[in-house]
Amino acid sequence: MTRKKVLVTGGAGFIGGNFVQYMVDKYSEYDIYNLDLLTYAGELAKHKHIGDRDNYHFVQADIADRQTINQLFEEVRFDYVVHFAAESHVDRSITDPGIFVRTNVLGTQVLLDAAKAAGIAKFLHVSTDEVYGELDFDPETFFTEETPIQPNSPYSASKAASDLLVRAYHETYGLAVNITRCSNNYGPYHFPEKLIPLTISRAVNDQKIPVYGDGKNIRDWLHVWDHCAALDLVLHQGVSGQVYNVGGHNERTNLEVVKTIIQTLGKTDDLIEFVTDRLGHDKRYAIDPTKLEKLGWKPKYSFETGIAQTIQWYRENEDWWRPLLKRV
């Protein structure tokens, strides 16, 4: 039996890194290639326990480097591409939108061209619910796959552009694709500039925890391991050309998330520091995952279970996140 070859871009980051580990552990008969440029948020320490596995391979490369990417696709006949690689921090996109366009849009286009030329079996593009814009505070409203795309930040605009490119390569060239759009992820190996790991690290260090505006912006939280299971399902069973939303119906205000972490760590709310709101800060995100559930997916983690596990993981793995604080 021929071994399947899977290219995972951005596999040194948070979600991509967890997905690499998931795939290496679950599919011993697959060769998993982790391609990452190792920018500020990428690191390989998370993969030290799989580094010597026969089915794990690392390639350091820039997805926007057409010559390098084309050569890789010629040398390794990939069956699948799972595309995570992206600049993803909204604040950084506000101060430097150009790098987001280069990586998220042009880099995706380079990968699509290589995938088309190689005739791969599936290109799975991992996107975000932020491409839909924002919802009001009506708890009965949700993003569906039919919600119009109307991004509000340079980050989400760059992801929306890459989504449309992926769709166009399916419609124009017949490339087999899926697009997934997930809600906010949390869990192990999350780079400590994002809300949950930042709050944990600052609370552990008794430092002030910044909260934008009044803290009432709502996000729908998804454990990264539930996300990995969803991507596995879509990769193998998703209908080509379709979009699948991934969310766990775990809506919380940012302030509720911060207070949950503070209380779990035995700290006080005195650590909270309200700061000037982010430019264009979306009010609320909430996903309707019905379409994915019909494919057979259900999240295993409630927010209460998942956040407790995540906090414990960070308490037990300070040797991983403390060296990264200087990069934030």
Q: Please list the active-site residues.
A: 129-130, 155
From CA 97, how far away is CA 154, in angstroms rounded? 6
Q: What is the DSSP letter of 213?
A: T
DSSP code of residue 194: S
Location of structure tokens 């909430």? 286
Task: Please choose, from the candidates 181, 194, 189, 190, the residue with its C-alpha nearest in 3D space to the C-alpha of residue 230.
Answer: 181
Rounded Cα distance, 242 and 234, in Å: 10
User: What is the dihedral sign for C-alpha 62, 63, 68, 71?
Assistant: positive
Report the distance separating Cα 212 and Cα 277, nearest Å.
5
Strands 80-83 and 4-9: parallel
Neighbours of 183 (CB within 10 A): 24
Bridge-based pairing of strands 218-223 and 251-253 is antiparallel
